[in-house]
Each structure stands twice: as structure tokens, then as C-alpha cells.
Amino acid sequence: MWKKYIRPYRFQAIVGFLFKMTEAFFELLVPLVVADIIDYGISSHDSQYVIKKGMLLFALAIIGYCCALVCQYFASLTSQGFGTYLRRDMYKAINQYDYENIDEIGTPSLITRITNDVNQLQVAVAMIIRLVSRSPFLIIGSLIMAFRIQSQIALIFLLATPLLALSIYIVMSKSLPLYEKIQKQLDRVSLICRENLSGMRVIRAFSKQYQEKNRFDEAVQKQKDMQIKVGKISAYLNPCTSVIVNCAILLILYVGGLKVNVGSLTQGEVIALINYMNQILLSMFVFANVVVIFNKAYASYKRCEQVMEVKPSIYNGHYQKGEDTTNVISFQDVSFSYQDSKALSHISFDIFKGETIGIIGGTGAGKSTIVNLIPRFYEATQGQIFINGVPIQKYQLDALRKMIGLVPQQAVLFSGSLRENMQWGKKDATDLEIKDALHLAQATFVEELEEGLDTYIRQGGQNLSGGQKQRLTIARALVKKPEILILDDSASALDFATDAALRKALQTLNQTTIIVSQRISSLIHADKILVLSHGELVGIGTHQQLMKNCKIYQEIANSQFSKEVE
């Protein structure tokens, strides 16, 4: 998968890689120049030679610095471009999900994957260009340069390098699993924070501040203990590697001293060998950090790959428009299950043009499931649904959903102006059309707002009351002038007078209306009322008919009317 997103930036990646290799090459030359300064400048007291070589060292440093900057620039371009294309395709894939896919993965997980996990991959891509090639190059290069200077002393390098790699491997193998657990515990801390911040009013209403503080303290303490444990393990890394490197340097000094005495090695070359040993140590440390980054990135890669591999079960049809029939919506032996839980069982009914249909039932009866099946948010597991005589699977999803104006249970508004929110269903809706829809939805409070349609709506409509948000979402659906209007318990926050005025206004429209409600008063004038119980259709008819022959409807009516009398 990752090759697809690297490909547009392969030139930048190659250029960055080459400049990083150039920097590493110049870094390998530094110990040789230092050796020359010691052997030919300092030993012979030639200040001109020292200054000349010193300027060469300065030039090597400047060239290496410039190469590092160029590499950093191209690595950033590549990693950011990689992340941009990956996020774009992930977002596109998520937008094609049906509700079952979203329910399966979970909205919070999808947000984390498209943000944090992609960030981890971006870091890994940058590290590939900047460090992955550099560390092995310096390690191998230092070994080659050591053999070039003195092959016998270079054997010390061959002994020390595997020991360094082994010590780093042992420490990393013990600490990496703990890093994964720490990340999961951090997710737990974040979850508690999110719950406490979003549910602050409930916590204070029940005086649970002390208990929630203790719960947070326990989670943070657990994370702290895990961090200390992994810190103790990681603390062994520096002493172990330092002991190995210092022992190797002692051997180099001892053997090098013997070689200097017999004249087969110079003092400067001994210093160069020590510098190459230190370069190997630093490169090992860098490589260890890269391993940690890659382990995190691999887990993120699998999570992002899963997002891309999920295939929606709801496919797109080719019909733009149905037949001209009086039978607008028809459910024929429809059943539906949420994973292993059955929500609807053998539902059959017909809705005709211009009818107002009510749906009522207890909690979990399947009311919202029915209205979610009509625009194909979910696919029926059995039976068939027809709209204008055509199976809904044959419609293009855009064409199907343009016919339907759905107002969900939870009133959702988006940050931006009130006008922008109203134009969601119809981009070119005029102010007059918007005001007509607001009038029908009983949202007359907009006229009292100082900025009118230019009023800024905060995220989620936080600057509006529950009833105001519901009326605005109803108006938003009316602006698009749908053939079928579905109100899924979307007037629950309205008072009885406003609710009655809204129903009266909707009756003036020439459209099919489906109203889901817990209030019989909201459905009493409907042409037909569907009564659901545990996913089954137990009654269908007018209010008067159901009061005579539907026991469950009678129980609902009696309970509500008795409350009104009281």
C-alpha cells in the first residue's frame, strides 16, 4: 500500500537519500583529517598545515550541514505528501462505508487512524530517508575505514560491533512490548479524560468528582508505573554499550600504543580509530530509535490498511428515477439484524403518495431501523423494499437520497453560518426558499436574531437550544423539497403547541411524510399508524382503528392520556 503513496514523491525521496549519503560520506572523512592534523601539523609544529586542515574540517562541516538541510527538506516533502494522499484515500474510503462498517470499526477508532496513525507513518517515511540508510552506511563505512588504517586493530571493531548490536537487541526486545502497553494505557487515560469532560454536568449533578478523580489517578499511576518499568530496562542500554565501547577503546589504545612504538601506526591514526568506534556507537543508538519508530509505524500501517480494505456491503445501482406509481414505499417481508441481534422481523406495509404515516412503539421496537433502511443506510437482510415500484438496490445512492429528506433523532448542525447549514440539501437555495422552510418548521426565532441567516452556528449548534436545533434540522430537510420527508422522533424537544403547529404546516405540503414519535398526539391525525413491538409490526391503521383492535397501542394511549389528565 505504501508504495502507491511514495511513488508521486520518488524523485524527492531519492534526492533526499543521496544528500544524506553524501553527508555520511563527509562525516567518515573527518577522523582522517583529524589524524593528518595530529600526525603532520601538531607533531611538526606546522601551524599553516593545522590552519589549512582546520579550514577543510570547517568546509566538511558546512557541506554536511547543507546536505542535511536539503535531505530534511525533501524528507519533509515526501512524508507530508505521503500523509496527504493516504489521508485523502482513507477519508474517501470511510465516506463509502455503510453504517455497518462504521459500527464495526467505531467512529473514535477511525478518527485515531486517520490522524495519529497516519502521523506515525509520516514519521517512519521521514526516518527511512534520513536515518535508515545513514546508520548502516556509517557502521559499515567505519569498519572499512578501520581496516584501511590498520587491519589487525580493525578486528577489535568486528568483535565490538556484534556485542553492541546484541546488547541493544536485548534491551529493545524487553522494552518494545511495554511501549505498546503504555500506548494502550494512554488510550485509557484519554478515554477517562474525554468521558469526564463531556459528562462534567452529570458528574457534578451526582457529586461524583471524588470518585472520578480517583479513577483518573489510578489510570495515570498505572501508566507512570509502566513508564518507570520501561525506563529502568532502557537505562541498562547506556551502561552496557558504554562498557563495550570503552573496553574496545582501551584495547585500541593498548594495541595502538604497541603499534605506535614499533612505528607501524601513527598517533593520529589511533585517534581516528577511536572516533570511528564512537561513530559506530552513535549509529547503533540511532538505529535502535529507528527500530522503535518502525514498530509503532507497523502497527499503524496495519490499522490504516484495514480501513482501506473494508468493502461496503451496499453497492450503487443505476436508476435515477422510479416509475410513476401511487405506491411510493412498499416493504415486503423485510427483516433486519444488527450483527447477531434481530431488529426487524417480516415487516410488510405500503405507503401511498401524499400520505402521512406515523410509526410508534416502545424503546428498541425497530422504529429508527425502518427509516434507516429506506435511504439504504443499512441493507435489509431479508425481503425487499420498493420506492416508486423499483427495488431500492437499483437506485443510484445519490438519486435515492435526493428523494428523501431525513431528520434524525439527534439534531446535528455544523459550524458555519445558518445559511450554509440550510443549503446542505440544496446548494443554490435562495434566502426566500430558506425563509419559507424556516417558517414551515416553526423556526421563527431566526427572524429575531440580530444577524439573521448570517448568524454563526458553533460546532454542534452549541449556541442554540435543543428545540431550536430540531426546528433548524427540519427546515434544512424542507429546503431541498424532498418527495419523502422522514422525521425520526425529531420533534421531541418541542412543546405541544409548536409540535401541533409544525404538523399542521406539514399537512399543507404535497409530499409523503413519515413521522416517528413516542407521542400519540403527534401521530393522531396521521393517515396510517404503524405499531411496532420487539421488531414486529403488531398493528396498522388510523388512531380510531388501533384504539379498537391493537392492545399495545391502547396501552400506550392510555398511559399517555392518563398522564395528560393528571
Q: What number is the average pLDDT over the span 10-23?
A: 88
- Please indicate, yes or no, whether residues 300 and 332 belong to a single structural domain of this protein: no
Domain-located, residue 283:
yes
Of residues 563 and 121, which shows the higher confidence score?
Answer: 121
Residue 144 sits in the same domain as residue 183: yes
Does 318 reside within a domain?
Answer: no
Closest CA to 253 of 164, 174, 150: 150
Q: What is the pLDDT of residues 534-558, one digit of tens each?
A: 889 999 999 999 998 899 999 888 8
320 in any annotated domain: no
Q: Could you read off the pLDDT of 373-424 as tens digits, one per residue?
A: 998 888 888 999 999 888 998 888 888 888 888 888 888 888 888 889 898 8
Q: Who has greater pLDDT, 277 or 120?
A: 120
What pLDDT, on the 0 to 100 scale, is given for residue 360? 92
What's residue 370's pLDDT? 92
DSSP code of residue 311: -
Most confident of 43-57, 243-257, 343-357: 343-357
The pLDDT value given to residue 140: 83
Give the whole-angstrom CA distance, residue 140 versus residue 420: 61
Q: What percent of the chain has pLDDT over 90?
A: 12
pLDDT of residue 36: 82
Q: What residues are paired with 327 via a beta bridge?
A: 352
Cα–Cα dist 514/373, whole Å: 13
| 321 within domain boundaries | no
Same domain (yes/no): 381, 286: no
Clarify whether residues 370 and 454 are in a common domain.
yes
CATH number at residue 531: 3.40.50.300
Kindly report which listed range (43-57, 158-172, 183-197, 527-541) carries the lowest average pLDDT score. Answer: 183-197
Do 287 and 343 fall within a single domain?
A: no
Residues 281 and 384 in one domain: no
Q: Which 8-state DSSP code applies to residue 382?
A: E
Q: Region 223-246: what's the mean pLDDT? A: 81
What value does the mean pLDDT take over residues 204-208? 86
The CA-CA-CA angle for residues 476, 477, 480, to 5°, reads: 95
Residues 200 and 337 in one domain: no
Q: Which residues have C-beta within 8 Å of that of residue 160, sequence separation ≥ 6?
A: 244, 245, 247, 248, 277, 280
Q: For the CA atoms of 186, 188, 191, 197, what is the dihedral angle to 10 degrees?
A: -80
Query: Rounded to an integer, what is the distance from CA 2 to the centroid of its chain?
Result: 17
The domain tally of the chain equals 2
- The answer to whether residue 193 is domain-embedded is yes
> How far are the Cα atoms of 86, 301, 407, 433 from residue 120, in angstroms, in the given order?
12, 9, 38, 47
Q: Same domain, yes or no, for 7 and 119?
A: yes
Look at residues 276, 309, 342 and tell me which one is the last residue of a structural domain.
309
Place of cell 572516533: 275
Per the model's pLDDT, the better-predicted residue between 350 and 150 turns out to be: 350
- Whether the CB-CB separation of 304 and 119 falls below 8 Å is answered with no
Highest mean pLDDT among 52-56, 109-113, 282-286: 52-56
Residue 127 lies in a domain: yes
Question: Are residues 324 and 380 in contact, defined by beta-carbon separation less than 8 angstroms?
Answer: no
Residue 541 CB neighbours (<10 A): 17
The mean pLDDT of 309-318, rounded to a whole number, is 80
Alpha helices in 199-317 (DSSP H): 200-205, 209-235, 237-262, 267-309
Please check whether residues 204 and 342 belong to one and the same domain.
no
Give the helix/strand (H/E) hosting 533: strand 528-533
Assigned domain for 314 exists: no
CATH code (residue 294) = 1.20.1560.10
> If you search the block for the grid coordinates 527511512, which residue do you land on?
128
Give pLDDT, residue 350.
Answer: 92
pLDDT grade for 323, boundaries at 50, 70 and 90? low
Residue that is last in its domain, among 309, 335, 364: 309
Per-residue pLDDT, averaged over 317-336, amounts to 80
- 565 has pLDDT over 50: no
Its domain, for residue 525, covers 327-565
Task: Give the pLDDT band of residue 450 (cuts 50, 70, 90).
Answer: confident
Residue 324 has pLDDT above 70, yes or no: no
Question: At a CB cut-off of 8 Å and minimum separation 6, what does 403 contact?
Answer: 387, 482, 483, 484
Q: Does residue 359 register a pLDDT over 90?
A: yes
Last residue of a domain, one of 251, 281, 309: 309
The predicted structure's pLDDT at residue 564: 43
Parallel/antiparallel/unpaired status of strands 456-457 and 416-417? antiparallel
Mean pLDDT confidence for 24-34: 85
Q: Are residues 253 and 393 in the same domain?
A: no
Q: Are 169 and 120 members of one domain?
A: yes
Reported as a pLDDT band with limits 50, 70 and 90, residue 488 is confident
What is the structure's pLDDT at 326?
67
Q: What integer is the mean pLDDT of 153-173? A: 80
Q: Is 16 helix (H, G, I), strand (E, B) or coil?
A: helix
DSSP secondary structure code for residue 546 in this structure: H
- Predicted confidence band at 348 (pLDDT cuts at 50, 70, 90)? very high
pLDDT higher than threshold 70 for residue 2: no
322 in a structural domain: no
Distance between first and last Cα of the chain = 66
Confidence bin at 331 (pLDDT 50/70/90): very high
Please tell me whether residues 166 and 26 are part of one structural domain: yes
